[in-house]
Amino acid sequence: MKHTITKKTLSTLVALSLSASFLTAGCGLASNKTAAKTENKPALTQEQQTKKAEANMSAARNTPIVQAAKKVGPAVVGITNKALVRDYFNRTQLVEQGSGSGVIYSKDGLIATNNHVVAGAQEIVVSLPDGKTYNGKVLGTDPNTDLAVVKIDADEELPVAEFGDSDSLMVGEPAIAIGNPLGMEFRGSVTAGVISALNRSLDMGERRFRLIQTDAAINPGNSGGALVNADGQVIGINSAKIAASGVEGIGFAIPINEAKPILKELAEKGRVVRPYLGVSLLDQTLAKRLGIDLDLRGGLFVVKMFQDGPAYRGGIRPNDIIVKFNGTKVASVADLRDALGKCQVGQQVPVTILRGDEEVNKTVTLTEMPQQSSQQ
């Protein structure tokens, strides 16, 4: 059977063909426009991504710990201690001695850290959370409280941590530790726990510290970092961790209320001015430990003294027993340190001593503690 194509049929086919072509071309143009739009859409910045994540975050996830870490984390820095050492060929070279953490607490670049983090350093390198580094200058150190202040001159606006009130802390409330455990590789690490105890006395060498105890993990490298409350306020400077077999979850921080006046003095003067008595003492506990049979009648035995120190000038002599200092009974060396720490240079302080069987009252004018003095 022969098919014939009429003019009308041919016109219809041509029209259909042209329509298909236009449809195909239109789809291609639309597709290209869509692709162009996709390609030209800018990628989200880190800040935009964070805001987007926050917008989609449930209240169950966006906890006070998350908020506190977000608020304080940018102000917690890494501190690398470098010192000069001699190599096998007797050449001096600058090598890393260790690293720790610090907390930026002022916009002009003041950083709170531990004394043992910066001790003996010839060079200090401060690393910000974003990876930028600055050379730091140690403004002052205080071995008695294990605090130090470092300063950096940054070419940017620095994040600053807010100090809280450590006197208002309650046992059991949340505690967040932020720092750089085990070095800069783990910088900005956050661990959480609770305030386990307050006013813990910890003897280190000849010094006694009154510290905040927490079970938030504090490891080597966390020293100098921030202990933070649930409101995102720094309530302590992380300082020490008991590390022994079978002992976990015991960390310590210097209360921020005790640290603030010391940091101020270190930043302004480079050191802390403290009064001293000028004596070496023996308490009942130490006497028993040394096997010395002495009845100290609840006081402190004066072993020796600085010849021209405050106690000597006030009439106290070796073999006297100090039973009261500034109206407070002192049964241990730690008791006297605490009482002395509340006094000022130049202050006249009443001291009650036992000399033989006689109770004698003396007045001592306190003077500034000499540098590196191990006496009271």
Rounded to 10 degrees, what is the CA torsion of 231, 232, 234, 240?
100
**Whole-number Å distance between alpha carbons of 138 and 262:** 14
- Nearest CA-CA partner of 159 in 226, 109, 229, 227: 109
User: Phi-psi bin for 216: left (phi > 0), alpha (psi -120 to 50), beta?
Assistant: beta
**Whole-number Å distance between alpha carbons of 284 and 278:** 20
HSE, CB side, 13 Å, CA atoms: give it for residue 158. 26
Query: Cβ contacts of residue 127 below 8 Å, gap of 6+?
Result: 77, 78, 79, 80, 133, 184, 187
Q: Are 299 and 334 spatial neighbours (Cβ–Cβ below 8 Å)?
A: no
How many other CB atoms sit within 10 Å of the CB of residue 70? Answer: 14
User: Phi-psi bin for 27: left (phi > 0), alpha (psi -120 to 50), beta?
Assistant: alpha
**Whole-number Å distance between alpha carbons of 314 and 209:** 28
- Nearest CA-CA partner of 118 in 134, 99, 103: 99
Q: Please state, in angstroms and as integers, the Cα–Cα distance from residue 183 to each residue in 52, 81, 120, 188, 249, following that order.
A: 31, 11, 18, 10, 20
Active site positions, annotated: 116, 146, 223
**Whole-number Å distance between alpha carbons of 126 and 158:** 13
**Whole-number Å distance between alpha carbons of 241 and 182:** 13
Q: What does DSSP assign to residue 244?
A: B
Q: What does DSSP assign to residue 185?
A: G
